[in-house]
Chains A and B, each alone.
Chain A
Amino acid sequence: MAILEVKGVNKRFGGLAALSDVNLTVQESTVHAIIGPNGAGKSTLLNCLVGKLMPDSGSVMFDNRSVLGRKPHEINQMGISRVFQTPEIFGDLTVLENIMIPCFAKRDGAFRMHAFEQFANEAELIDKSDAILADVSMADQRDAHAASLSRGDKRRLEMAMCLVQEPRLLLLDEPTAGMARADTNNTIDLLKEINSKRDITMVIIEHDMHVVFSLAERITVLAQGTPLVEDTPDNIKGNPKVQEAYLGESQI
């Protein structure tokens, strides 16, 4: 079943057509990668999915409901979580608090005036947060300041913040950018486990072909704002059009 359907999306920035007539269908429970050379419109497409940008035309349906015109927090409440290219976390807060905030968002909705309640009484949410921290093996950093974490740990924390909400669709914008090979492999394992154990659909934008080919079940290649092909990883590898537009570059 298709969980995300993008149809005929166009987005122009002045004279530049960042996206022209983009169609994309993501099946439930799969890992779908979007690749393409720099400036192909990958991030623009992602921003259209989470409410940061409004496409000029076209439709984006999540679970048969349109996401266009909704605010970022509304889209998140529908079940779409996003991991950013550079980890976006609450640096001034502790690791546990970072996880607690999405827990509150999940339980209480977009706003609740819980000014006279006590943090310590939220045992259920604290347990849930601790469990997630154990899953991403960060339990011993529970009370650390999030800003003091290493870059890899910040990334894992951000991932945990998304996971604790049990989203139906997880969008990842270059989740291994700037990581060492060992960290990259850990992230791949983590993402595989998330996909299989928690049954979360993922859309992943990535430059690192190693990551793409070890995770993705379907791949869409974007070039100059239009999808070139959409196929399985094996077919993409052998596709001459893709070689020319994208992989060709790296072979020179």
Chain B
Amino acid sequence: MRPENYEAQRQPPSNEFELNFGPNHPGIEGNYALKVKLHGDVVLEAQADGGYLHRGFEKLMEQRLWIQNIALVPRICVPDPSPMELCYSMAVEQLCGLHVPQRANWIRVMQLELSRIAAHLFTFGGHAATTGMYSTMYWGVADRDLVLDLFEEFTGGRVYSIYNIPGGVRRELPSGFLQRVSETLDYIESRLPDYDNLFFKNQVFVKRAKDVGVMTQEQALAWGVTGPNLRATGLAFDVRRDDPYLIYDQLEFEIPTEESGDAWARTLVRRHELMESIRIVRQVVEALPDIHGPIRAPIPNPLAWNVPAGETYTRVESSKGELCYYVVSDGGPKPYRVHVRGPSSMHAVQVLEKLSVGSRIEDIAQTMFSLDACPPEVDR
């Protein structure tokens, strides 16, 4: 079968070789790549390679009106878009000194927590698939769809809701909607024991995830890790509680932590967070009927809206960690500068590179999915 001119190339005797892990690979999350140097199965060196999803959002936002950007921002993170809308809207509100009505704040919390539930279910699905447990993947995606149905009903969009605008939210809730939210939450909660049995307590998963991609709390703090990945090392830090926004200081919820800092701990933290999010949405569902009033503050004509000059830095706890927007206005109809600090820009680049070294090739996917890396946030 060899061509006639074939000659075996002589290589220096070495067991080292390089491998492009991605950008098109089932073990990689999104369009992203890792260039790894291997010795046998063991990773000697890893280099993250991004840019496959770069769409130039920050430049685009400088060329569009303040209100037009609402349609752009959710696209920066596909699995968890709602915090993006909120973080941008909060920045514009702070620059304009807009006072958001109380009812809008409660609805926003419901949207954010539903988005977190959907994002975590999606992550469980993807993570389970890396260990070959495709049933959990189908379950995760199917149960997430129920949350997307709710989004479709109250925002009009399944994935990108484009529902938060500076000043409040766009529409009032449909009649009977809170009842349907309760039913969906009850259903998802009733499914969790099944998830535990099939995935979280499954030895196939536990043995693959324990002691993989371990990071200590000191390392996590030095590397700028936030969100569930930081909480998996034992530090109970959550922007919702420690730098509160909206009405999170009026809600009751726990901040789950784990101590071991490995892939298993990170996934378990998310599993507990899912339950806390359900608890928060239930509090909102209970309180919302008694909170009356408008759902957004009056804003100027959005097509001729000059936001006062100034700068602000807003922070939100997204499902992946600390999400921040630095927004600068020069008093014009368009933002002068918008800087998006996606939580994954830390753990999808430097942290992933460091944790991959020394692990085996089959554990790279395990590490990446347990970190919940979101490449579009890195590329922007």
The judgment on whether A and B are partners is: no
